[in-house]
Amino acid sequence: MANSIRVASAPFDGQKPGTSGLRKKVREFMQPHYLENFVQAVFDTIGGGQGKRLVLGGDGRFGNRQAIQRILRMACGNGFSEVIVGQGGILSTPAASCLIRKYGTDGGLILSASHNPGGPDEDFGIKFNSANGGPAPESITAEIHRRTMSIDGYMTVDAPDIDLDEVAESLLGEMRVTVIDSVADYAALLESLFDFDAIASMLGPGRFKMRFDAMHAVTGPYARAILEERLGAPEGTVMNGEPREDFGGGHPDPNLTHAAELVELMNGDESPAFGAASDGDGDRNMVLGRGGYINPCDSLAVLTANAHLVPGYARLSGVARSMPTSRAVDRVAEHLGIPCYETPTGWKYFGNLMDDGRITLCGEESFGTGSNHVREKDGLWAVLFWLNIIAARTQPAGAILREHWQQYGRDYFTRHDYEGIDAEVATSLMDQLTTSLPTLAGRTVGDLVVETADEFAYDDPVDGSRSEGQGVRIVFEHGRRLVFRLSGTGTSGATLRLYCESYERDPTKLELDTQRVLAPLLEAAESLAGIARLTGRVAPDVIT
């Protein structure tokens, strides 16, 4: 029997969870007591661990396995009755959400910094997901932060490591540790939603050719088990499928910049019919048709418009998108006669809407799409949704997208990321922009006329909570829009994100170059915010 031990510690500054938990450099997490303080703050915030059950796993990045062992000892010291752990310490974020919901646990700890790089000199992260399987709401994360500022010790036990590589049950003191197959329950859930027979028929040898880039991150084992083993796609369909602690030295962010190998393949002379990639922890996705990238905003709209072709989504209660996401899905929702909600960035804002039965599908421009099957965005789910639609319509992805534009019009959309900006400079830029908002309506900027300008605030229709300061919106005549916001997902400096959107209904102007179409908006953004002048950056680091 392992006896609980109290270890004295002192608070660390800056342990405030962001939109996706606490993310810091590995070396910060390696400080004595740093991880333990935060985990104890989580346990204290949820009322202690006595008799509770927890899901635990991560994306396999550097430090993942060691952190799991330390958290297991803490869970035992805090009186948890059971911890369910993914084999090898591996759990994708959507798979963790699936397990929390299926086994009715009191929540879960997910060790990931999502799409951020991994390795001893890179990033680590941890977040708490509530009993509904979704990211903890602001009320919980705020309380976790308050607790980190006063914590003076944590509970643990002195015990040997648990074998994480064998699927088995064992005891740590009086706490049961259940190591489970990381893929099985999640794969079974997806099989219940999609027409696996139709997809398998399409993916058979010599037929529809696709490639999935796992980016040496967590989805490799999931994609191989589902795409290659269950659905019969040829071996090698999954690229970079072996999870590595440093993601193979790459940046596991599925966009046109960081998934360059896949993008080059899809634009080659003998490209596959369909391509996709997922990120570090498996919750994001990028999809590409032959010779063309499908914007995440368009992807959400196409999935919504074609959901009736997918067994698990024959009827939709509603849809939701984050505020910066283009309004393409709004037009589909209006056509279908279902509600469409606009929320702040952050998946936790969709959770209340799902739990209340108001929405079925949701998505963000930042390569996240999902549904009420779990309470997280889900990369492989989105890929299977696309494959199901392609199989049902017997059309390539590009043709499906072009027909969608012909019916609904096209929202030209781009996001420009300025990474690692001095935090004070970034804050000053946003403050100046926010201060100018009352003077912008009616102003002409270049050839554009401002209709409205505001700072987005969200009133949750379920619990009545209000979230302010969620980004600056500047709307121009003729369906054009700029959005500015600071991202909370980085670990160094600040990331400024600029979003540009322009709606086009003319059927002869639906396949133009996106950056060229949006050039007037980009010029207006510089005129209004002075990004180059204030930051010294003459170009963004990433364009999506």
Q: Give the C-alpha separation, 296 to 369, whole Å.
A: 8
pLDDT confidence bin for 268, thresholds 50/70/90: confident
* pLDDT at residue 491 tops 60: no
Is the C-alpha dihedral spanning 280, 282, 287, 293 positive or negative? negative
Q: Say if residues 74 and 175 touch (Cβ distance below 8 Å).
A: no
Q: Between the CA atoms of 185, 190, 191 and 194, what dihedral angle is there, to the nearest 10 degrees?
A: 170
Are domains 4-182 and 410-543 of this chain identical in fold?
no
- Domain spanning 186-408 has what CATH number? 3.40.120.10
- Domain spanning 410-543 has what CATH number? 3.30.310.50
* Domain 4-182, CATH among 3.40.120.10, 3.40.1130.10, 3.40.30.10, 3.40.50.2020: 3.40.120.10
DSSP-derived 3-state class of residue 53: strand
Between residues 378 and 488, the one the model is more confident about = 378
Look up tokens 């999506």; give the residue: 544
Q: What's the pLDDT at 212?
A: 98
Q: Which long-range contacts (CB under 8 A, 24 or more apart) does 368-373 make?
A: 368/283, 368/284, 368/285, 368/296, 369/285, 369/296, 369/299, 369/300, 369/303, 370/94, 370/283, 371/313, 373/98, 373/189, 373/190, 373/193, 373/312
Beta-bridge partner residues of 287 = 276, 294
Q: Give the C-alpha separation, 9 to 32, whole Å.
A: 9
Model confidence over 398-431: pLDDT tens digits? 999 999 999 999 999 999 999 989 999 999 999 9
Q: What's the pLDDT at 83?
A: 98
Q: Please list, in sequence order, all residues whose beta carbon lies within 8 angstroms of the beta carbon of residue 432, skipping any fewer than 6 positions away.
A: 529, 530
Helices 296-305 and 328-336 cross at an angle (nearest 10°) of 10
Look up tokens 């911890």; give the residue: 83
Written as six digits, the tokens of 370 are 């999902």
Q: What's the pLDDT at 18?
A: 80
Q: Please list, in sequence order, all residues whose beta carbon lies within 8 angstroms of the beta carbon of residue 259, skipping any fewer than 6 positions away.
A: 213, 215, 253, 277, 286
DSSP-derived 3-state class of residue 107: coil
DSSP-derived 3-state class of residue 159: coil
Q: Give the C-alpha separation, 491 to 126, whole Å.
A: 13
* pLDDT at residue 382 tops 90: yes
Instruction: Find the length of the chain.
Output: 544
Angle in degrees, CA 230, 307, 194, rounded to 5? 15
299 is catalytic: no
Is the C-alpha dihedral spanning 261, 224, 195, 95 positive or negative? negative
DSSP-derived 3-state class of residue 103: helix
Q: Give the C-alpha separation, 292 to 266, whole Å.
A: 8
Amino acid at 18: G
Q: What's the pLDDT at 490?
A: 52
- What pTM was estimated for this model as a whole? 0.94
Q: What's the pLDDT at 206?
A: 75
Q: Give the C-alpha separation, 475 to 456, whole Å.
A: 12
Q: What's the chain's average pLDDT?
A: 95
DSSP at 160: P
Q: Give the C-alpha separation, 140 to 261, whole Å.
A: 40
* pLDDT at residue 288 tops 80: yes
Beta-bridge partner residues of 444 = 449
* pLDDT at residue 204 tops 90: no
Please provide the DSSP assignment of 415-474 as one string: EEEEEEE-HHHHHHHHHHHHHHGGGTTT-EETTEEEEEEEE--EE-TTT--EE----EEE
Q: Give the C-alpha separation, 324 to 303, whole Å.
A: 19
Written as six digits, the tokens of 315 are 């009827």
Model confidence over 304-358: pLDDT tens digits? 999 999 999 999 999 999 999 999 999 999 999 999 999 999 888 999 999 999 9
* pLDDT at residue 161 tops 60: yes
pLDDT confidence bin for 488, thresholds 50/70/90: low
pLDDT confidence bin for 65, thresholds 50/70/90: very high
Q: What's the pLDDT at 1?
A: 54
Q: Say if residues 206 and 232 touch (Cβ distance below 8 Å).
A: no
Written as six digits, the tokens of 275 are 């391509």
Beta-bridge partner residues of 212 = 238, 276
**pLDDT, average across residues 160-187:** 97
The dihedrals phi and psi of 465, each to the nearest 5 degrees, come to -70, 155
Q: What's the pLDDT at 207?
A: 83
**pLDDT, average across residues 436-459:** 96
* pLDDT at residue 270 tops 90: no
Model confidence over 11-29: pLDDT tens digits? 999 999 987 899 999 999 9
Q: Distance between the two ends of the chain, CA-based, in angstroms? A: 54
Q: Are strands 472-476 and 480-487 parallel, antiparallel or unpaired?
A: antiparallel
CA 36 vs. chain centroid, Å, equals: 25
Q: Give the C-alpha separation, 342 to 460, whole Å.
A: 10
**pLDDT, average across residues 91-102:** 98
Q: Annotated catalytic residue: which of 20, 112, 114, 371?
A: 114
Domain ranges across the chain? 4-182, 186-408, 410-543
Model confidence over 504-536: pLDDT tens digits? 999 999 999 999 999 999 999 999 999 999 999
Helices 64-77 and 34-45 cross at an angle (nearest 10°) of 50
